Structure 1
Amino acid sequence: MFNTISMIGLGYIGLPTATMFASRKRKVIGVDVNQHAVDTINQGKIHIIEPDLDILVQAVVQQGYLRATTSPEPAEAFLIAVPTPFTDGHKPDLSYIESAAKAIAPVLAKGNLVILESTSPVGTTEKLAEWLAAARPDLTFPQQSAEAADIQVAYCPERVLPGRVVQELVSNDRVIGGMTRTATFMAAALYKTFVQGDLVATNARTAEMCKLTENSFRDVNIAFANELSMICDGLDINVWELIALANRHPRVNILQPGAGVGGHCIAVDPWFIVDTSPDDAKIIRMAREVNDTKPEWVLEKIKASITDVLAAEAIKSIADVKVACLGLAFKPDIDDLRESPAVEIAKHVMSLGCQLQIVEPNIQELPNSLKNDNVNLIELDEAIASSDVVCVLVKHSPFIEKKNSISVRNNVIDAVGVFS
């Protein structure tokens, strides 16, 4: 049994996972470089929005099972859930994982288990083991001693839906890929602490590719829907009605189009496959390109509406045009802005010089990239009443509730099907 667990990274995945272990009365040491996050968690509060998580964190902190710090401490198992963004040219950036490896290396001891949860290119788990071995030549690792290694290393990606993380961490199946059979067995025993879904064993490389494949599958299917939306717009067809009709076929299930694709998973992971196999990942690359161009298409719609306003009304300067962008998060009813197409669209609208009125009910202040003299974060009712152009970029519940009020305005752009 693993009695002390260290979670490296206390973000949207790390904090809920740490909390699940702590709720099963395991001692969990959470580690994060963000001092604000550490302080917030140690107060029994959370720095992210996720339903039900706040109550659980408060309980496990008060009971003494979860504690956060900025420096790793000795433990029996170390789980790494840090960002894996990409750099220019869509090259994977593994620096956060390397930093995590160097941070935990000094406190590793014989018999420890290290699990990488971060979505990663194929072969990253092996690189993690190499970084650890370089930092701790006094210990052996799977690439050196296989089953007999002092430190076992495995890969186990998350596959949860923001807004349902607490439930899905428990109920969803997990793919566990150890660098050795011993590592896989140890990791499965650890996750059985709270996971009720199946724990499916494989090797590390297959587990890494499985996570990338799951998100690439969704990206390809969303790209099909987004491409349909652009085609239908030119043919004067309601794409949401079309998709609903097509989906009545027993073997058709088209996803919903939107303003693009965001988040740290679907908008990023397919590029890891393209980077690894650039000559063979043709469909995956094309899907990424389609989804990456959808925000540009939405922006052109906004520009056209601004032109209509200037032509039809007594507004002489674009500086006097008020454009409301409804939603900044990358998906409905969360506060996560990572890789959000809505944020990118808003930034371009800001650069046009108009008065940008942003409505995002899940945040308290604008991100730094949108802090400008011509940008304001306002309430929905005010935006509906005062804006010359309204663009719905995220299908948040409050927007659906007010869809009748929004739809009667002139110059409304519905990029996500709120009115359908």
Structure 2
Amino acid sequence: MSFNTISVIGLGYIGLPTAAMFASRKKNVIGVDVNQHAVDTINRGEIHIVEPDLDMIVHAAVTEGYLKAVTSPEPADAFLIAVPTPFKSTLNTKSDSAIPEPDLSYIKKASEAIAPVLKKGDLVILESTSPVGATEQMAEWLAAARPDLSFPSPNKESAGEETDVNVAHCPERVLPGHVVRELVENDRVIGGMTAKCSARAVELYKTFVQGECVITNARTAEMAKLTENSCRDVQIAFANELSIICDKLNIDVWELISLANRHPRINILQPGPGVGGHCIAVDPWFIVSKTPDEAQLIHTARKVNDAKPQWVINKVKLAITDFLQANPTKTAKDVTIACYGLAFKPDIDDLRESPALNITKQIADLHAGKVMGVEPNISDLPKSINTFQLSTFVTAKSTADIHLLLVDHKEFKDVVFKSDYLIDTKGIW
């Protein structure tokens, strides 16, 4: 059965580019999102997120009639679910027992929303990053909502039993700022609940994917994405811990890493103020929450990286004390602090799970004086932030007393920066 109409549930940083790629291949695509503003924006041929080249693709797809956005699911031949998978509690590593529990309510709501329009022969793919077993859970929710249709389950997989609806997991593996290219070029891990489910998912993705579609089972596909980001998190934790050790021993960590990396089998990553984004800072918790007694190293890495922002804030507190001791006529209210970079990584506008943003917010909350945020990739701060204001690099550099580099944006590089009160968490100044 061919896929004439494809529905993408969730039109965020992954869902919208995915919908646009199918539409660019002349497939009829129905995007579904509960955000009316996002739906209206897309139907005007515009986008509500920032991603290079995506605006042109969406505009063309909407103009040519291949892409439309709605708030309620409509019948289709394939449904891709790309909704958030947050946690039920705030991430907190102060206690060894504080392990957040994944919140699958968005997946459940999406499943219940598409269930009424499912028909025999349809394909449902979960793209949301999820704990192991989430795809099977989704199939159970769909089966409960539509008892007139048959869905795959682990015991049916072993029996090779055919079902009315095919279900698979295919995690996204793209880099913000390069999503359009990587959706096409990257390999995809396809985890069907049966061999038939995998085959149909491969057929769907080959509509635009030029990379290899590698088949496995649903649980392994779920774990693959979590493993990739957990591995990265552990490597960053080593670099961050090394930077704290070197600071205590009065060693330049950047020079040390550069020297160590001259060994042909050593490749230490660069330390920073923490770990952010919607993947590396989050995905390891899915493993820890599922196997807390076994995931010792992964859990420790999370605690190391989550503790790094407080270490940076403590360095700022020391800088304030040193400044006031050197300037006895001034008080804390007279001290201006500039924080350079708010995004979770260089040269993007994405503030999700950003340690730089959280550090700046905490400094603004505790400091009696002025705090300036310098972020060249955004024009406005989120409405929820009112404790500090955006500033230009030139203004911050010339007026601030204490300078804190948090993100190595290209605008901050190749700059001669001299100050007695400079905290460089990225090693570029």
Q: Does 1:388 align with 2:406?
A: no
The aligned runs of 1:114-129 (5 Å cut-off) are 114-129=124-139
Please list, as runs of the form range in 1=range in 2, the aligned pairs for 1:28-43 lying within 5 A after superposition. 28-43=29-44
Which residue of structure 2 aligns with residue 359 of structure 1? 374
What SS does structure 2 have at the residue aligned with 1:310? helix
Q: Find the aligned partners of 1:354 and 1:67 in 2 and give their Cα distance.
A: 49
After superposition, what is the alpha-carbon deviation per residue over 1:240-286, rounded to whole angstroms, capped at 9, x for unaligned? Answer: 22112211111111111111001111111111111111111010000
Inter-partner Cα distance in structure 2 for 1:382 and 1:314: 25
Structure 1 position 42, deviation (Å)? 1.4
**Distance in 2, Cα, partners of 1:124 & 1:234:** 44
Q: Structure 1: how far apart are the matches of 2:407 and 2:378?
A: 14
The answer to whether residue 429 in structure 2 is matched with residue 408 in structure 1 is no
Q: 1:150 to 1:315 in 2, by over 3 A?
A: farther
Mapping of residues 20-419 of structure 1, within 5 Å = 20-88=21-89, 89-143=99-153, 147-313=161-327, 316-352=330-366, 353-372=368-387, 375-401=388-414, 403-404=415-416, 407-419=417-429
Question: Could you say what secondary structure the match of 1:40 adopts?
Answer: helix
SS in 1 for 2:48: coil
Contact 1:260–1:292 (CA under 8 A) maintained in structure 2: yes
Please list every run of 5 or more consecutive structure 1 residues that lacks an aligned counterpart in the other structure.
none
Counterpart Cα distance in 2 of 1:416 and 1:370: 25
Question: What secondary structure, in the 3-state scheme, does the structure 1 residue paired with 2:342 have?
Answer: coil
> Per-residue deviation at 1:313?
2.2
**Amino acid aligned to 1:197:** G
TM norm structure 1: 0.96
Superimposed CA distance per residue, residues 47-86 of structure 1 (whole angstroms, 9 cap, x where no aligned partner): 1111111121111111111111111111100001111112
Superposed CA offset, 1:136-170 (max 9, x none): 11111112865421111100001111111111111
CA distance in 2, matches of 1:30, 1:314: 61
Q: What secondary structure does 1:330 align onto?
A: coil
| 1:220 CA drift (Å) | 0.4
Under a length normalisation based on structure 2, what TM-score does the superposition of the two structures give? 0.94
Task: Give, in angstroms, the shift of residue 369 of structure 1.
Answer: 4.1
Q: Summarize deviations over 1:202-254 as a string: whole Å, max 9, x none.
A: 00001111111011000000001111111111122221221122111111111
3-state secondary structure, aligned to 1:129: helix
Runs of 4+, deviation exceeding 6 Å:
none
Distance in 2 separating the partners of 1:2 and 1:307: 65
Secondary structure of the equivalent of 1:142? coil
Closer/same/farther in 2, CA of residues 149 and 414 from structure 1, 3 Å limit = same
For these two proteins, the number of residue pairs brought into alignment is 414
In 1, the alpha carbon distance for the partners of 2:174 and 2:222 equals 16
Give ranges in structure 2 of 5+ residues lacking alignment: 90-98
Query: Larger deviation: 252-261 or 53-62?
Result: 53-62
> RMSD in angstroms over aligned alpha carbons?
1.4
Identity of aligned residues (%): 65
**8 Å CA contact 1:85, 1:92 repeated in 2:** yes
How far the C-alpha of 1:11 sits from its partner, in A, is 0.9
In structure 2, how many angstroms separate the alpha carbons of the residues matched to 1:289 and 1:186?
A: 40
